[in-house]
Structure 1
Amino acid sequence: MSTADNELRCNNLKCRAFLATEGQAVVTTCYHIFCVPCATTLFSTSLICPACSQSLQGSQMTTLNPTNEYKASILAGLPPHTVLEIAARALSFWTYQLAFQALILKNTQERQSHSEKQLNNAFCDLQSLENDLEVGRRKTQESVNESRRKDRELSKLRDDLDKKIKRKTAFSQVAHGAEMAGTPMATLQSSRNRHQQNSPMVNTSRRFVATPQSTQQHAPFRPQSSVPFKPRQQPFFATRSKSNADNISDGSGGSGGRFRGPRFTTGMWSRP
């Protein structure tokens, strides 16, 4: 042990002052020693040892740094076995104090070791919590980034939807305008279709029945074709009756046997 460990200390665990510097101490019959201030405070109310809680008959003030006169006179005149007994008790007291000091030191070291272990455990827990916190921060950042990405996608989808709605609205307006502009033509086409359906020449598969109204209002029935309708022209040489032809061939009749061509009248060809 070191010199500091060999020195006596106040047995009050709250004090533990070195007694050599005090010069005086209070010794109890249970082999405990206290500094004068602690003894005055502790023994003022009751004579109970604060170290072992043992009832005391009394306490003895002792001098820790005796003078030479005190050393020469304290054991003078005592028989040798008394001196040896006193010395043995003094050595036992010292041995007990050293053991008490070692026990206190051991308990202190155990408490310190336990505290260090708790501190290490707390440090490990703190490291684990910091790691968990870092993981939580990363997850939070990832969640924030994912949320921002989804917000951007949502904003893009909204923009696309707005564009589609605008295009659809514009198309609807254009279609409505075109419909409004095409209404007279559609009405005219519908009227034309009704007129063609009422005409007797619309369906060529049906048999045409002539009526006075149809003969007066409509042209004779002709098959429909893509060629425009033209009035039928008479041939340049119109057909003659057999008697006229015979007269022409033998030079008689009519106008002295001469060939007489068709006469032109305004609007159409006619025979003489």
Structure 2
Amino acid sequence: MEQNLSCNVKNCSTELVYQTVVTACSHSLCLGCSEQHGFAGQGPYTCPVCRQPLEDTEFLRQTLRPTEEWKSVALAGLSPTHVMECAGRALTFWSYQMTNQMLVITKTTGKE
């Protein structure tokens, strides 16, 4: 069973299955929250989780279930060093998200 990300906006926690908006400050937003907080329009942009100002190059709409074709070409042509750097950053982001989700569950249920 694969674990899904959840929206990081307080009082949302929507399960993110197909798409998300990810930020340079390592937050993940559902499309509804990203639109509600102005990520679909013109800047200025502010992360709704940590209130960090963001440039238009510091957030991205990300597909969470990429096609096989996309996976075949996404990193094609990059050196192994760059591929491993990308993979490392993705794993760090995933680990951060899962740790935060476990903390939220612990706080809401009172169980450790």
TM-score by shorter chain over 0.5: yes
Partners of 1:46 and 1:15 lie apart in 2 by: 23
Determine helix, strand or coil for the equivalent of 1:31: coil
Matches within 5 A, 1:110-259: 110=110
Partners of 1:31 and 1:91 lie apart in 2 by: 12
Partners of 1:107 and 1:47 lie apart in 2 by: 29
Give the alignment's TM-score, normalised by structure 1: 0.37
In percent, how many aligned pairs have the same letter? 40
Determine helix, strand or coil for the equivalent of 2:6: coil
Contact 2:21 2:29 in 1 (8 A): yes
Moved over 3 A (4+): none
What letter corresponds to residue 93 of structure 2 in structure 1?
F
More strand by share: 2
| 1:39-66 C-alpha deviation (Å, 9 max, x unpaired) | 0111257411111121212310111110
The counterpart of 1:51, out of the listed 32, 49, 52, is 49
Instruction: Identify the structure with bigger relative contact order (alpha carbons < 8 Å, sequence gap 6+).
Output: 2
Answering whether residue 22 of structure 2 is matched by residue 24 of structure 1, we say no
What letter corresponds to residue 109 of structure 2 in structure 1?
Q
Determine helix, strand or coil for the equivalent of 1:62: strand
Contact 2:44 2:54 in 1 (8 A): no
> Structure 2: 5+ residue runs without aligned partners?
none
The counterpart of 1:36, out of the listed 31, 40, 55, is 31
State the number of aligned residues. 106
> Structure 1: 5+ residue runs without aligned partners?
113-272
| 1:207-266 C-alpha deviation (Å, 9 max, x unpaired) | xxxxxxxxxxxxxxxxxxxxxxxxxxxxxxxxxxxxxxxxxxxxxxxxxxxxxxxxxxxx
For the aligned residue pairs, the C-alpha RMSD in angstroms reads 1.9
Give the alignment's TM-score, normalised by structure 2: 0.85
Partner of 1:74: 74
Contact 2:9 2:48 in 1 (8 A): yes
| 1:51-92 C-alpha deviation (Å, 9 max, x unpaired) | 112121231011111001100000000000100000000000
Query: Offset of 1:14 from its aligned partner?
Result: 2.1
More helix by share: 1
Larger Rg belongs to: 1
Partner of 2:12: 15
What letter corresponds to residue 106 of structure 1 in structure 2?
T
Determine helix, strand or coil for the equivalent of 2:5: coil
